[in-house]
Structure 1
Amino acid sequence: MARRALPSTAAAFTTAAVLLLTGCGGGDKSSSGDIKGADTGSGSPSASASTVSGVKRPDIKLPGSFKANFADWTNSDPALQTAMNDGKERLRASYAAIIAGDPEYSALSFYSGTSAMSTGAKWIKGYKGLTIVGQVKAYNPEISYIGDAKKRATLAYCVDEGKGYSKDLKTGEKSGTPKGESPLVEYRTSLGKQADGVWKTMTVETQPGGC
């Protein structure tokens, strides 16, 4: 997938990459499955509300022209599973924001802390006049707590963008991963648990070829 340069700020993305999150890892791999609403519908993505553990979360629906697949995103710790799911949904929200052409996309804001939202919005603006099509695969997630309070965590994973493309909205021209660059992107994020139980992404680092 053709990459847009990410703005540089201290508390968010520190390396240029394709989509928004980071890391390679492992975790409990008992099953795989996509979040409800993924890879369905057509046209612009939408975000309705769904309830998880008593908290309403956006139900993000991506158009049929773009698929985000997640392999083995499971963990034996229920709290870490919730954090992993919220981290996954932020990645999907970032894709939806690009497709919608909306840097202030509500679902992205829902799953982002202030710094990550600010940087993410600037990054999405880099896709002006473009959309994304094809499919990506996020795999090998690793998640763990930071500290004993269990209110912060790190989530790392890999994204294979080899079958993902940016598409010019006027010409229809598609661009993939630049020649000589790896389509595998490593994402490393930090998450913070909010008072309502939602795990927001606070910081993100990405490294093309890091996987």
Structure 2
Amino acid sequence: MNRRPALLAVAALTTAAALSLSACGGGDGDSKGDEKIEGAGSGSSAKPSPSASQDKIERPEIKLPKGVKNVFEGGETGDSKKDAVLADSERRIDSLDEAVTVDAKEHPALKFYSSGDALVSAATYIKGFYDDGSSFVGTTRYYDRNVTILKKGTAAVTYCMDSSKTYPMDRKTKKVDRSIPASDKDYAFFNTRLEMNAKGVWQTTSVTSTEAAKQCR
């Protein structure tokens, strides 16, 4: 059993994904969502935002529940633009985990930091957890992060994910399964593309991932 699967890219927006986006507050328009998402309890603690730069952008708050933590290594490159890209990449990851682990009518940060194919794949990924009645707890480590600034306000970020210290949790009973042995699938490699939008936010627009990535061991 996988502790938490890698986020896979998808090509088209399915009906199920569209419904998931709406439920997570990532749909178009100002709909507040009429149904509460069932999942990991409502109690959560604020997750500090990355301190890349004081850009004066009004950002949605991201809260991860107690027991869920992301550790990002190598956040300061010495280049202000690269640091801003990394910071928004971090926020995108946190927004995704918030949508999976926190029970709420909306998750506005999800659409704030993702768009295009990345938002679609996020919806599919999140829906998979709810369909399975599962969530997760523990610490996920992100490392070997590299930023490449491309032309016309675009950038690429690659990184490794170590989920060997995370454990699946039943959404209803809150029972955590800590019996799963470590495996190569706990290590994944991600290749993401980001574009700066009109607000100055570096949104992730596409994501590809490889489970059991040798370069991440």
Fold equivalence (TM over 0.5): yes
Q: Is the 8 A contact 2:70 2:141 kept in 1?
A: yes
| Count of residues paired in the alignment | 180
Query: How is 1:1-150 mapped onto 2 (pairs within 5 angstroms)?
Result: 2-4=3-5, 9-10=10-11, 43-44=43-44, 52-101=54-103, 105-128=107-130, 129-147=133-151, 149=152
Given the two structures, how large is their TM-score scaled by the length of structure 2? Answer: 0.72
Query: How is 1:170-189 mapped onto 2 (pairs within 5 angstroms)?
Result: 170-171=172-173, 172-174=175-177, 180-189=183-192
Task: State the 1:4 CA deviation.
Answer: 4.5
Given the two structures, how large is their TM-score scaled by the length of structure 1? Answer: 0.73
3-state SS in 1 of match to 2:58: strand
Higher normalized contact order (CA 8 Å, seq sep 6+, divided by chain length): 1
Give the aligned CA root-mean-square deviation in angstroms: 3.0
Task: State the 1:179 CA deviation.
Answer: 6.1
Larger displacement relative to structure 2 (105-114 or 57-66):
57-66
3-state SS in 1 of match to 2:99: helix
Determine what percentage of the aligned residue pairs are the same residue. Answer: 30
Deviation track 1:140-166 (CA, whole Å, cap 9, x = no partner) reads 11001123x3x0000011111010112
> 1-side partners of 2:5 and 2:64: how far apart?
20
> 1-side partners of 2:87 and 2:204: how far apart?
11
Unaligned runs of 5+ in 1: 13-41
> 2-side partners of 1:184 and 1:111: how far apart?
24
3-state SS in 1 of match to 2:92: helix
- The change in CA–CA distance for 1:176 and 1:58 in structure 2 (over 3 A counts) is farther
Unaligned runs of 5+ in 2: 14-41
- The change in CA–CA distance for 1:156 and 1:177 in structure 2 (over 3 A counts) is farther
Q: Is the 8 A contact 2:159 2:191 kept in 1?
A: yes
Larger Rg: 2
- The change in CA–CA distance for 1:122 and 1:45 in structure 2 (over 3 A counts) is farther
Deviation track 1:90-138 (CA, whole Å, cap 9, x = no partner) reads 0011111101256962111100113211221121011012221011111
Query: How is 1:167-206 mapped onto 2 (pairs within 5 angstroms)?
Result: 167-171=169-173, 172-174=175-177, 180-206=183-209
Which structure shows the higher helix fraction? 2
